[in-house]
């Protein structure tokens, strides 16, 4: 296998081994977003060797067959290069829209490690499902649904629900499942597939929520460092170009942050309402809203994640960072293209 779990969970890396390319020399390469948020081919990468990157338009310099701009690989890579994010949920949508096949469908799922990491984000979905379908009878206030809970396997957040509980009355459980299928306007036999799909939608939101939490921690750290440096340096305070660039970055990040928070909150509200009154229409609304925003959320998060990864790489010890180096980073690597993250995602 020419890709790793890290690749499966990444927002900005697409291993080309999963794509239908004819050029053998590209099988071990990846399409990645660089610090300028452009898509480039990474031919090799390592701590000792660094990252060997080449523009898609320059592939003919490396591979003779790709000098022909009509070559299928050039056309495919050009399409893939226009995607805003390479996370699995965005890819599912954009690859289908572009009618681009993929060699291994399993790649379009988060790794088992990431799913286990997101188990805590999935608890509300799991609890709601248990309460709606597996609760035998109301008993008393401290255990409203009469569930006998057992330990959850954190390595299989969407695993067999029968392993999660021991219902005291299987007949009532069956009746509840039958009622749920009727409300959803599906056959009882189709309910497991529905629950799997619904769990995956919830997992996608949990994934974006998790990515958002991680990148905002880095951005808050970056903001604190820049504010401290500007506040303590008279030269930087008088540098209007630097101040304007910092304002531009702050505005772009604030816009992105507001949009992401609003979408996550809207999804939370809709899912809460869904479990209060389960209907097929409510589910379709949730599904439509989630999938409609996958590429937008993925694009925004990919952009700011790449920028913050660059910050982390350049400044592993931010408190010891040189003010001049930080200012140069803000003006060039971080500031370039960041204004387009929200509008163009």
- Per-residue pLDDT tens digits for 243-301: 999 998 988 888 899 999 999 999 999 999 999 999 999 999 999 999 889 999 999 99
Q: State the pLDDT at residue 177.
A: 87
State the sign of the Cα–Cα–Cα–Cα dihedral 224, 230, 233, 236: positive
Stretch 173-187: mean pLDDT, rounded? Answer: 90
> Does 146 score more than 90 pLDDT?
no
> Does 151 score more than 50 pLDDT?
no
Stretch 318-335: mean pLDDT, rounded? Answer: 88
Q: State the pLDDT at residue 89.
A: 95
In contact, 229 and 323? CB cutoff 8 Å: yes
> Does 144 score more than 50 pLDDT?
no
Tokens describing residue 337: 């293209």
Confidence band of 343 (pLDDT split at 50, 70, 90): low
Which is higher by pLDDT, 314 or 170?
A: 314
Which is higher by pLDDT, 168 or 59?
A: 59
In contact, 94 and 295? CB cutoff 8 Å: yes
Q: CA-CA distance, 182 to 178, in Å (whole number)?
A: 6
Stretch 176-198: mean pLDDT, rounded? Answer: 91
Stretch 47-65: mean pLDDT, rounded? Answer: 88
Q: State the pLDDT at residue 67.
A: 92
The top-scoring range by mean pLDDT among 143-152, 153-162, 166-175 is 166-175
> pTM (2 decimals)?
0.85
Neighbours of 208 (CB within 10 A): 25
Residue ranges of domains in the chain: 5-109, 115-183, 190-344
Stretch 4-29: mean pLDDT, rounded? Answer: 94
């Amino acid at each position: 296998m020419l890709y790793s779990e890290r690749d499966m969970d990444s927002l900005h890396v697409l291993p080309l081994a999963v794509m239908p390319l004819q050029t053998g020399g590209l099988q071990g390469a990846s399409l990645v977003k660089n610090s300028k948020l452009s898509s480039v081919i990474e031919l090799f990468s390592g701590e000792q060797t660094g990252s060997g990157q080449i523009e898609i338009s320059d592939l003919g310099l490396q591979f003779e067959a790709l000098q022909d701009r009509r070559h299928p690989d050039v056309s495919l890579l050009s399409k893939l290069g226009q995607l805003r994010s390479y996370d699995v949920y965005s890819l599912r949508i954009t690859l289908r829209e572009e009618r681009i096949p993929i060699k291994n469908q399993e790649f379009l799922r988060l790794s088992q490690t990431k799913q286990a990491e997101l188990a805590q984000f999935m608890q509300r979905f799991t609890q709601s499902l248990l309460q709606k379908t597996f609760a035998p009878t109301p008993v008393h206030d401290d255990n409203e649904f009469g569930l006998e809970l057992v330990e959850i396997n954190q390595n299989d957040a969407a695993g067999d629900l029968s392993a999660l509980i021991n219902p005291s009355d299987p007949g009532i459980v069956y009746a509840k499942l039958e009622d749920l299928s009727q409300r959803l306007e599906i056959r009882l036999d189709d309910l497991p597939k529905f629950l799997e799909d619904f769990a995956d939608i919830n997992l996608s939101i949990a994934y974006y929520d998790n990515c958002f939490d991680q990148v905002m921690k880095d951005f808050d750290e970056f903001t604190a460092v820049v504010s401290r440096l500007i506040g303590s340096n008279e030269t930087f305070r008088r540098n209007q170009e630097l101040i304007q660039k910092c304002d531009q970055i702050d505005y772009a990040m604030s816009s992105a942050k507001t949009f992401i928070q609003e979408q996550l909150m809207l999804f939370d509200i809709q899912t809460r309402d869904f479990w209060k009154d389960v209907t097929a229409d409510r589910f379709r609304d949730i599904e439509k809203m989630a999938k409609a925003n996958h590429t937008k959320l993925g694009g925004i998060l990919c952009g700011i994640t790449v920028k913050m990864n660059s910050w982390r790489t350049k400044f592993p010890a931010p408190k010891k960072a040189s003010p001049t180096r930080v200012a140069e980073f803000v003006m060039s690597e971080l500031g370039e293209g960041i204004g387009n993250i929200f509008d163009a995602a």
